[in-house]
Amino acid sequence: MRKMLSALLAALLLAALFTAAVLPVFSVTPADPLVAAIENAVTASLGKDTPGAAVVAVRGGSTVMMEGFGFADMAEKTLVTAGTSFEIGELTGLFTAITVFSLAERGALSVDADITSYLPDRFAKKLNLTTPVTLRDLLSGTAGFEGRRFDVLFTKDSHTFASLEEALLSDIPEQSLGKKKQVSASAFGISLAAYVAECATGTPFGELASAAVLTPLGLSSTVLYPDRSTAPASPAHGYIAKGEGRFTPAANAGKSYSGLPYATGAVSTPADLANLLCALSAPSDGVFSAALKTALFTSTPNDTLLTASTPAFSRQDGCFTLTGRTVYFSATLCFDRTAGNAVLTLTNAAPSALADFPRSLYAEPTTVTAENTGGELPELKTYRGAYVPATEEGHSFAGKYRLTEACVSVKVNKDEGSISFGEERYLQIAPGVFTAVGGDGKTVALQFLTDEKGDVTSLITADGTVFVPVPFYLSSPVSKILFVAVLVLAAWFLFYGLYSVVRYVTHRGKENEESFFSGALPGIFAFLMSLLVLWQILLGVKNGYGTLSSMYQALSVMALLFGIVAAGAFTVAFFSSLLDSKRLSRTVRAAILFVLYALLTVFWHLVLF
């Protein structure tokens, strides 16, 4: 009996030890409403849309909760802990903002000076700014940069850049929104701010960030620009959610590498991020001065009603928010500056419903109202057209293909004097300002900004997304027709190339024999061009921004060379067939189709031009 009792007690003891090791232990009682809300949110997502997660909550400079849930590695059954490293995406920019403002506090630079005063002349010329830009603009997303064709994330560490300058010069985006100070998040702008700091101080930005943030806070597990030599010690593996609680491990453990250092791509742990949030939320001066913290949370004036931003956060829904997203990871931070509260969620699958949880803690979203003062309102047709997010780019095939998919149309509903944007309808209550049909008649839902000529330059939605107008041929129906057309012509010239070779071979030695240069050569080079064009299309449609633009550029150059030779060959074939009406007719038809094909490849940026 005693042996049985001893065995039972031993089993209970082992079970208790196992439970203590596996289950999260909260640093406050479960009666805390915040902890209860976090538990419910984790329960709703864990094992359903993410295999693992971590949550950090701070209040008034102290950690309320810092716990890991689920698996960092499902194969090895490794649990998420406070020391597990997650990719944090755009949260990387928070470290950059703190570093820059720390330097400004020491007098090493000015956040309100024109950045060209710090940049080398050769770099400033390549940047080709249309309006002056400050470090505050770069960090607040009001510099007006559109997206880049060069990817912000890579899946191989060998694709990382040797220097910050090299990464920026690999693809410089246009400053399409430079004339209007409006918020449009730009990873390029954040990375450029880091480079400006390098130029102003003569010190690599990694060293500046270590001195300003990492070392003072003891963030030993945070790596702002990971590569093969700085791999985290306990990384979470990335997964693809397949629904119904099924997950597929991502290639290379889901790791990605940033093409824009110090803007995206950092890895950190819940423990390190908790230290950072405590330092930012502490009521009194600590590592960071009160002035620095105030600057980080001070909104930047802009020309819109609907968006506000600070050098570290966007300000929406009554709180300061920051969202990071990589290929297989997500991170969301919400900061209640008034109460000194902050909540952060980290997941190793993206998207995950847990990423939206921090925002849900602020139940009363901030709204902006406007009223009609009785003045004359612009005609609704002024706003009609196709719009795409300002952060997209349209100067590569992958970008243009994605751009047309993201296109949203504004239509005029003449029967009720409203416009439709997507699936919703809106009424104009002030010049360029619209409220939702069926609403209270004064809450602003859309705002259009126009230039001195009255033409629309941008459209801002209530959630802060900035859209810019695009030509009608980039609207979804038209672009789909043009896309199908380039596919059909590429396939036709594959067939034509094979047919030309077969025809040349079978007609050799006969009376109607054609020369190789006029008979087979145009088809051969049109065939080779089509192979390269279809290769780019396949990569772009399948991988999108996951494909290196350097590969696109190489394929585009080769397609251009083959296209030029094919055009020359068609010209030779045309002149050599002038005395043969049958051959001439066939050559002219093929040449006309080739010209149309070439124009479409130029439109889709499938050839370098």
Q: What is the pLDDT of residues 300-319, one digit of tens each?
A: 776 777 767 788 787 765 68
Confidence (pLDDT) at 402: 83
Confidence (pLDDT) at 7: 47
558-568: pLDDT as tens digits: 999 999 999 99
* Cis-peptide into 204, omega within 30 deg: no
Confidence (pLDDT) at 374: 66
Q: Which residues contact 463 (CB under 8 A, 6 or more apart)?
A: 316
Tell me the CB-side half-sphere exposure of residue 591, using CA atoms within 13 A.
Answer: 19
Read off the pLDDT of each residue in 87-106 and give the average, rounded to a whole number: 96
Main-chain dihedrals φ then ψ at residue 324, nearest 5 degrees: -120, 140
Confidence (pLDDT) at 283: 82
Nearest to 332 by CA among 53, 44, 95: 53
97-128: pLDDT as tens digits: 999 999 999 999 999 999 999 999 999 999 98
Q: Does pLDDT of 368 surpass 60?
A: yes
Per-residue confidence at 191, pLDDT binned at 50, 70, 90? very high
Confidence (pLDDT) at 576: 83
Read off the pLDDT of each residue in 173-184 and give the average, rounded to a whole number: 76
Confidence (pLDDT) at 299: 82
Q: Does pLDDT of 544 surpass 90?
A: no
pTM confidence score: 0.83
Read off the pLDDT of each residue in 532-546 and give the average, rounded to a whole number: 80
Confidence (pLDDT) at 28: 42
Q: Is the Cβ–Cβ distance between 179 and 455 less than 8 Å?
A: no
Confidence (pLDDT) at 575: 87
DSSP class of 361: T
Read off the pLDDT of each residue in 172-179 and give the average, rounded to a whole number: 80
Confidence (pLDDT) at 318: 61
Confidence (pLDDT) at 12: 42
Per-residue confidence at 545, pLDDT binned at 50, 70, 90? low
Helix-helix angle 581-603:476-506, to 10 degrees? 140
Q: What is the mean pLDDT of the chain?
A: 85
Confidence (pLDDT) at 33: 85
Q: Does pLDDT of 15 surpass 50?
A: no
**Site of tokens 């060293």:** 207
Nearest to 309 by CA among 182, 450, 189: 182
Read off the pLDDT of each residue in 335-364 and give the average, rounded to a whole number: 86
Q: Does pLDDT of 365 surpass 70?
A: no
Confidence (pLDDT) at 317: 57
Confidence (pLDDT) at 406: 86
Q: Is the Cβ–Cβ distance between 525 and 496 less than 8 Å?
A: no
Rounded to an integer, what distance in angstroms lies between the CA atom of residue 469 and that of residue 117? 33
Which of the two residues, 547 and 475, has the higher pLDDT score?
475
Q: Which residues contact 591 (CB under 8 A, 6 or more apart)?
A: 570, 573, 574
E-state strands within 294-371: 314-316, 319-325, 330-336, 341-347
Q: Does pLDDT of 513 surpass 90?
A: no
Rounded to an integer, what distance in angstroms lies between the CA atom of residue 136 and that of residue 296? 10
Confidence (pLDDT) at 16: 41
Rounded to an integer, what distance in angstroms lies between the CA atom of residue 609 and that of residue 600? 12
Q: Does pLDDT of 452 surpass 90?
A: no
Read off the pLDDT of each residue in 586-609 and give the average, rounded to a whole number: 90
Q: Does pLDDT of 511 surpass 60?
A: no
Q: Does pLDDT of 484 surpass 60?
A: yes
